[in-house]
Structures are given as C-alpha cells and as structure tokens.
Structure 1
C-alpha cells in the first residue's frame, strides 16, 4: 500500500521515465539471456536428418575446408566443388585419411568462368544422392581496399559473378533435389561487411554483393520453410583466411576451424545469424556507436590497408 501511495504521489513525467527505464532493463535482460542460451546452451541440430550428403563450394582452403572436415566428422558424405582439380584431390585425400568411411565426390567448377557448365556437372554428380546440406562458401573479395573507380573490369565481373551469380545458380540446382524429399538446409556465406556494420567503404562492390546474398537467403527462407527446407545466411566478421589476409586467429578473429564448428551449431535455426559469439559481440558494439564515429574509424583503417596494398603492388611490378 505504501509503495502504491508513493507512486501515486509522483509526477506523471517521472512515472513515464520509470516505466520506460523498466521496459529497457527488461528488454536488455531478455536479450542477454536469449543470447547466452543461443551461443552457449542451445544444442546443434542433427545434420544427418537432412540427408546423408553435403555439398560445399570453395572447400580447398579456409572456412570451406574446415566445413568439409567438420561435416565428415559428423558422418556426412561430401560433394566438393572447386576450380582446381589438384587441390580438390589433396583435400579429399586428407579427409579420407582421417575419416575413412566418408564418401567423397568432386566437381570441377570455375566460378569466374563457365558457371552453367559447372552447374550441369553438379546436377550430374548429385543425381540420385540424398543431398541434405548445401554450403555456398565460394566467394571473392578485393585484394585490398580500393576506391570504386579503381576496380578494374575483370575484378568487377568476378565480384558479381562469383558472389552473386554462382551462389544463385548453385542454390537453384541443389534446391530441386531437396524439394523432392522435402528436407534440406542451405547455408549461404554472407559477410558482416553487409549486415553488421553501417557501411564498408573501399569494398563497395563486395559489400553490395553480400547484401544481395543476405536478402536472397532471407527471401528463400520464407518461401521454402513450409517445404521442410531451412535457408540461412551466415554473417561472420574477421576469420583468419587467405581471403581476409589475416594470418593469426585471436579473440575477435576466428580460426577457420573455430568458425566452422560454431557455424554448424546454427544450421537450421535463424535465417540470418552470426555464429561466432565474439563477432556477434563486436557487431553489437558497432551498432551501439554513432554511425559517424564508426565510419571515421573504418575509413582510416581501410585507407591504411589500401596504402599497404599499393606499396606491395608497386614493389612486385619492379621485381
């Protein structure tokens, strides 16, 4: 009674502020508890329930290679798709040396070349297979930060062809196989450059292409979730790979193995996710900053990357 009397005696504006503050605290607490459950307690799904085969594009290095090993460990057979037959053989031999029961098919496909021919070979390779998972990992970024007018015609074409056309056409080819069984999971690799940060200057075409992948995936999620197919776009930030040119993993930089392990726990859940929890934390911090503050920091960082890249280019030309 005393508490009720106390509140009644307070001015309306103070009660409104108290209510808004309480709602904000409750919302933050709910978000925090949900995140803790998702990242540390929620079990991953049994991926074999989707089917006994998984397709991975770009599996010869980095995240794609780590995905291949993780899926083999979970008992799935693999269809590996890449442009270099020697590297495909090397990764296949390495996987089978460790997981001898894993069946592996390889498909040679140059995502910067004849995509339609590669898609036909994928269709032939998966004919009659119970394909449960597709991981569209093949992608390309800039060699280093560049102004848009500095992006040459070949690089511009590859950024769009590999990241957009390749992902789209491979997805469509494999989706038909999944629809026959009304089961499947499609994971498209997006980027925090498109989804977690407000802008990504000096990588504009890459960021734009990955924004397409994000929206494409979210639309397919809605279209096909009633057909038993889970479509997801994963948006990592920094991973120590050749593409990012980051050599060592750290707290905020995932190793390919660490990322792949976290990523597979998220398959079949949210249509867009950031599986590696330090990346999600970084994204939360960035979103809390004023856009102008992060933009200023990011421009300086990218210009430093550009300067180093140009110096490396000029020294290699002299040699």
Structure 2
C-alpha cells in the first residue's frame, strides 16, 4: 500500500472519528436538555429558600418550586413586595405551600448581620434548597471610572457578599442531614468579556468559581452546589430587548422551568436550551471578533439610552453613559 493511500485512510478515519464525536456530543446535549429527568427536589428537604424572590427570575423560580410541593422561604428587602408575593403564592397553591419571609437589605447589612438573620429565619425549618438569586447591575452601561462608588459597593455586596454569607448560614444545616442543594444564579458575563459592565461581570465570575470550588468541597457530603448561567432573560435588568423573540430572550417563567430541571447535576450549567445554542455559537467565534461585537453592542446601547435621556433642547436629564 502506497504512502498516499495510508494518508487518505488516516485522514478518513480521523474525519469519521470527529464526526462520531460531534454526533455523540449532540445526542448527549439533546438528552440533557429535553429528556433527562429532573430530581425529586423534596428529597433535599421540605423548604426552599430564594433570595431576590419578589421579581424576575427569583420570583418565577419560587413559583416553580412551589409547584413541586416545596414550602417557600422568601428573602428580599421590601416587606410589601414579600407580602404581595406570598399572597400570590397562597392564592395559586392554596394550603399546599407554606410561605415565610426574611427582610434583608443586602446593600446595607454586614456579613455577620446576614448570617444572624438567615440563621434566625431558618431555625426549625428543613431547608433543602437554597437559590442565591439576588443580584444587582449598573443602572445602565458605563465605563469603569464613571461608576459611582455607592453603586460599585452595592453591586459587590449584593452579588458577592450576599451569596457568600447566605450560603455560610445555610450550609451547617445541610451538613447535619448530609443533603441539600445550593443554586447560585450567575450570568453569561462570567463566560466572556463584558465591557461597560466590568464590576458586574467580575462579581458573576466570582459566583461561578465559588460554586465550582465549594461544590467540590461538599460533593461527598451529599450537597449539590451549582452555578446556573443565563444569557438574556426578559427581566427588569434587561432593557431594550422587549421586542426580541421569547425563544431567544425567554420570560422568567420559561427560564425557571428549565432551571429547576438542572438542580442537582453539573456544577456549572446553561439550563435554557436556546441560551446553550447561543453560547455554543459565541464560543466558536475568535476572541477578538467576539470582544469587538460585544463592546460595540453595549456601546450602542449606552448611546441610545443617553439619547432618550436628552431633553428637546439638548440638555441631559440623566447621568451620562458611554
């Protein structure tokens, strides 16, 4: 057999192997996204605690967990919103779901105060699931030096400190019974560059690494710790995408259904199927091209917002953004 024939056979074999690998990965993705059964969440415990539970993803996850028969411990900073959310849950599920509330303003409470308030709130409750959803972003895109110190501090406290200290407060109870699930709601900004939102992106990157490391520490103790990565979801934090297709930018309710199906599985995951497709495409782009596209997209978003804030005579009525 000639060398040319051997090279052709080798190239064909490698091509077939690559094709088989791609096909296997695709079939695994289909199984995980659409057919893998969700875990019995009540086995973790009878109560689920959700921070940032009065709006957006947090509220939708609370309702979805309630549909599974879990009692709900709602955490937020607004007593009126917590009361309204509890009322909605009771109206929907009747006496099947019990609710309790903890009022905390994460932008003001210290780590020790957060621990004490959470420990007091969960005393006597079989908390099996914790969803660290509370999050804060810039009011609009801006360069790092434009971010007000108060805003910067609040973003760090809500996105990093709150999740860290709430986890610290809940973990001992889970360790005692050797089971539990902790879900940290991250962001796609932790997976690629996010100019004009640097501090927010960095805090979400912390959540991803925190979840991975702590998840490895407690995996043998029966505690499943996970960071879920959403891309754009139609919440108050996402502006300017109101006309986008619900398939590309799902509602919080659509996202929450995907979210709870992933609880107890991978440490880092992208639960919503179309987000996974979007991430696959973005991941395949050269870094330089992706960075350019992302920067100019958010730069354009900032210019549009600034234009809306301009008075007819050209005087700005809001803080300037990029």
- TMscore range, shorter length: over 0.9
**Equivalence for 2:86:** 92
**Equivalence for 2:317:** 317
**Equivalence for 1:131:** 127
**Equivalence for 1:184:** 180
Shift of 1:23: 2.2
**Equivalence for 1:107:** 102
**Equivalence for 1:145:** 141
Of the three residues 275, 285, 297, the one matched with 1:289 is: 285
**Equivalence for 1:271:** 267
- Confirm or deny that 1:49 pairs with 2:32: no
Q: Distance in 2 between matches of 1:56 and 1:314?
A: 39
TM-score under structure 1 length normalisation: 0.93
Q: Distance in 2 between matches of 1:313 and 1:79?
A: 39
Q: Distance in 1 between matches of 2:56 and 2:156?
A: 21
SS in 1 for 2:317: helix
Structure 1: state its 5+ residue gaps: none
TM-score under structure 2 length normalisation: 0.92
Q: Distance in 1 between matches of 2:132 and 2:317?
A: 35
**Equivalence for 1:308:** 304
Shift of 1:18: 2.4
Shift of 1:254: 1.1
Between 1:290-299 and 1:79-88, the stretch displaced more is 290-299
Q: Distance in 2 between matches of 1:143 and 1:18?
A: 54
Q: Distance in 2 between matches of 1:229 and 1:266?
A: 14
Between 1:133-142 and 1:8-17, the stretch displaced more is 8-17
Query: For each residue in 1:168-213, what CA deviation from the matched residue of structure 2 results, as whole angstroms up to 9, or x when unmatched?
Result: 0001111111111111000001111112xx3111111111110000
Shift of 1:125: 1.3
Q: Distance in 2 between matches of 1:174 and 1:311?
A: 45
**Equivalence for 1:251:** 247
Give the number of equivalent residue pairs.
Answer: 310
SS in 2 for 1:106: strand
Shift of 1:300: 1.5
Shift of 1:9: 6.4
- Confirm or deny that 1:172 pairs with 2:181: no
Q: Distance in 1 between matches of 2:81 and 2:308?
A: 27
Q: Distance in 2 between matches of 1:14 and 1:149?
A: 58
1:8-47 matches, within 5 Å, as: 10-47=4-41
Q: Distance in 2 between matches of 1:128 and 1:247?
A: 43
Shift of 1:313: 4.4
Of the three residues 144, 149, 154, the one matched with 1:158 is: 154
Distance change (3 Å), C-alpha of 1:110 and 1:23: same
Query: For each residue in 1:122-171, what CA deviation from the matched residue of structure 2 results, as whole angstroms up to 9, or x when unmatched?
Result: 11111121110000000011222111111110111111111011110001
